[in-house]
């Protein structure tokens, strides 16, 4: 076991504090990663504040992890020391069920092992990326192309794949009208990726405050959802709506923006239920769906897609001591567009 520096939440109501956590000794198929950058996902905040249920405190969160391989176990054959690698929201799964066999480990029928707050195969509680090192089975480690800017790439490991996966599944592309609801961490990646896939992208944000950015990221249209005229103007318009909002939204109002056979996919995960009025589904034979991150192979495909297209997240780099303040800014939708912790600030 090795003891490494980290930041942890002591409880649902206290600020995160500096601490140390233990990482297991390397098993034969494990990779030790020296973490360089860790993104702050809104899921980290939902989790540490206990909004999604019971949490094993103290807990270190963080599932947008990028760094370099520092050591490898005896049987590791996919990575060499020095390789630039990433870890997203999962660190293991059963590998035997139908979904795992189909490369959809995120939907493991026995429950995937999350990067934090999950019980690992050895019975310990997993601890996330706001720390200097992590030990992960090589099958859940991603290769991060060197052409992607090191300090910006971490958010692809959650925000990138969580939006890429439904955009690919519901075939965003030329001739498709795609709306993105909420332009925060996930939302701004959805805009960039959907535009790169060739779709006609519309942003539905609370206000027009980030319009210039949205158009720069590749959107063609940008509307304020605080203005009721938006919902009148866009009735029956979209083939696909990706909802990234971290709070409940008025489902009927958004569903009515779908055209015939359109689908609204929620990736936003508010603690409260999202009531769906069936009559809003009947019109235009609409569908309401959810989507959770993406499989390991698909995550690699997304990283390679972003590298080829020169797509990277917009980030604000912070030190470990600024994490609590960053959380408050995320909660007030004041994020441009992902906070990334410079993990070097945790080393001393
Ligand atoms: P974020 O950066 O805080 O972005 C959320 C955006 O939603 C905000 O920037 C804001 O956009 C909008 N918003 C926030 N509160 C709102 C409200 N009360 N009414 C209307 N709009 C509001 O969060 P994130 O990291 O992108 O995560 C978004 C959600 O996705 C979270 O619930 C997170 O847990 C979830 N998530 C799910 C998965 C998955 O696998 N399904 C993976 C990662 C994250 P505007 O300012 O543009 O209005
Ligand atoms: Zn996340
Ligand atoms: Zn499985």
Cβ neighbours of 134 (radius 10 Å): 27
Residue nearest ligand 1's atom 46 by CA: 333
Which tens digits make up the pLDDT trace of 303-344?
Answer: 999 999 999 999 999 999 999 999 999 999 999 999 999 999
Helix, strand and coil percent figures for the chain, each rounded to 5: 30, 30, 45
DSSP 283-329: GGG-EEEE--S--HHHHHHHHHHHHHHT----EEEE-GGGHHHHHHH
DSSP 246-278: SS---HHHHHTTEEEEEEEEE----SS-----H
pLDDT range class, residue 281, cuts 50, 70, 90: very high
Residue nearest ligand 1's atom 30 by CA: 268
The three-point CA angle 118-120-124 to 5° equals: 90
Out of 41, 215, 246, mutate this one to test ligand 1's pocket (max ligand atoms within 8 Å of CB): namely 246
**Mean pLDDT taken over the chain:** 97
Which tens digits make up the pLDDT trace of 102-124?
Answer: 999 999 999 999 999 999 988 99
Q: H helices of the chain, where?
A: 42-48, 98-101, 159-169, 185-196, 211-216, 229-233, 251-255, 278-282, 296-309, 323-331
Q: What is the pLDDT of residue 348?
A: 82
Q: What is the pLDDT of residue 122?
A: 87
Q: Bridge-partner residues for 181, per DSSP?
A: 204, 243
Out of 104, 333, 337, mutate this one to test ligand 1's pocket (max ligand atoms within 8 Å of CB): namely 333
DSSP 88: -
Task: Measure CA of the first residue to CA of the last residue in the chain; give whole Å.
Answer: 20
DSSP 155: G
Residue 133, C-beta contacts closer than 8 angstroms, at least 6 positions apart: 2, 4, 23, 32, 33, 34, 35, 70
Q: What is the pLDDT of residue 51?
A: 96
Out of 154, 184, 221, mutate this one to test ligand 1's pocket (max ligand atoms within 8 Å of CB): namely 184
Does the pTM surpass 0.85? The reply is yes
The residue extents of the domains of the chain are: 2-158+313-346, 160-290
Q: Is the fold of 2-158+313-346 the same as that of 160-290?
A: no
**Closest ligand by atom to 244 CA:** 1
Q: What is the pLDDT of residue 213?
A: 98
Q: Are 330 and 339 in contact (CB under 8 A)?
A: yes
Report the separation in Å between the CA atom of 120 and the middle of ligand 3, taken as the mean of its atom positions. 14
Helix-helix angle 159-169:185-196, to 10 degrees: 40
* 160-290 fold: Rossmann fold (3.40.50)
Which tens digits make up the pLDDT trace of 137-185?
Answer: 999 999 999 999 999 999 999 999 999 999 999 999 999 999 999 999 9
Report the separation in Å between the CA atom of 270 and the middle of ligand 1, taken as the mean of its atom positions. 8
As a whole number of angstroms, the distance between CA 307 and CA 211 comes to 25
Atom of ligand 1 nearest to the CA of 159: 43
CATH architecture for the domain at 2-158+313-346: Alpha-Beta Complex (3.90)
């Amino acid at each position: 076991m090795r003891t490494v520096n980290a930041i942890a939440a002591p409880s649902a109501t206290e600020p995160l504090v500096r601490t140390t956590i233990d990482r297991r000794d390397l098993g034969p198929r494990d990779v030790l990663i020296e973490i360089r950058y860790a993104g702050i996902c809104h899921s980290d905040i939902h989790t540490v504040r206990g909004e999604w249920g019971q949490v094993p405190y103290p807990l270190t969160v963080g599932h947008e992890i990028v760094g370099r391989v520092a050591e490898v176990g005896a049987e590791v054959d996919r990575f060499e020391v020095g390789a630039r690698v990433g870890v997203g929201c999962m660190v293991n799964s059963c590998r035997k069920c139908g979904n795992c066999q189909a490369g959809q480990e995120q939907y493991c029928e026995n429950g995937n092992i999350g990067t934090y707050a999950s019980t690992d195969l050895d019975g310990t509680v997993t601890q996330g990326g706001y720390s200097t090192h992590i030990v992960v089975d090589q099958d859940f480690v991603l290769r991060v192309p060197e052409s992607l800017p090191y300090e910006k790439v971490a958010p692809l490991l959650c925000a990138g794949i969580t939006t890429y996966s439904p955009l690919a599944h519901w075939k965003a592309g030329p001739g498709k009208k795609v709306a993105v609801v909420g332009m925060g961490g996930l939302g701004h990646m959805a805009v960039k990726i959907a535009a790169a896939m060739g779709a006609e992208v519309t942003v539905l944000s609370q206000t027009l405050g980030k319009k210039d950015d949205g158009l720069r990221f590749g959107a063609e249209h940008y509307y304020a959802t605080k203005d009721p005229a938006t919902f009148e103007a866009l009735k029956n318009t979209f083939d696909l709506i990706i909802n990234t909002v971290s709070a409940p939204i008025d489902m009927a109002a958004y569903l009515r923006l779908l055209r015939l056979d359109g689908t609204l996919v929620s990736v936003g995960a508010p603690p409260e239920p999202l009531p769906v009025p069936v009559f809003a589904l009947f019109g235009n034979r609409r569908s309401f769906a959810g989507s959770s991150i993406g499989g390991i192979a698909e995550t690699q495909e997304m990283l390679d897609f972003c590298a080829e297209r020169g797509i990277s997240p917009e980030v604000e780099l912070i030190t470990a001591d600024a994490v609590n303040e960053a959380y408050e800014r995320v909660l007030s939708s004041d994020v441009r567009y992902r906070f990334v912790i410079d993990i070097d600030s945790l080393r001393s």
